[in-house]
Amino acid sequence: MRSVLDELIAARERGLECVYCQVVETRGSTPQKAGAVMLVYADGRQAGTLGGGCIEADV
């Protein structure tokens, strides 16, 4: 499985538009902690995870 950083580098090399999302702070019980990352491509595809479900749908 490719890392999100590898995915980001490949996207930039191919000229694909994407957004890099990172959890910077959490409180209480969370599925992911600070440092979790995800890419969101212009076509809606995702690489990585911020914790799944509702969180990623909001992003």
User: How many Cβ atoms from other residues are within 10 Å of residue 25's Cβ?
Assistant: 7
Residues 29-49 have pLDDT tens digits of 888 899 999 999 999 999 999
CA distance 9 to 47: 12
Q: Which residues pair with 40 in a beta bridge?
A: 19, 46
pTM: 0.78
The confidence band for 52, taking pLDDT boundaries of 50, 70 and 90, is: confident
* Confidence at residue 25, expressed as pLDDT on a 0 to 100 scale: 93
Task: Report which DSSP code applies to 41.
Answer: E
User: For the chain, which residues make up each domain, given as ranges?
Assistant: 4-58
Q: Are 44 and 30 in contact (CB under 8 A)?
A: no
Q: Are 49 and 19 in contact (CB under 8 A)?
A: no
Can you give the pLDDT at residue 8?
A: 94
pLDDT grade for 24, boundaries at 50, 70 and 90: very high
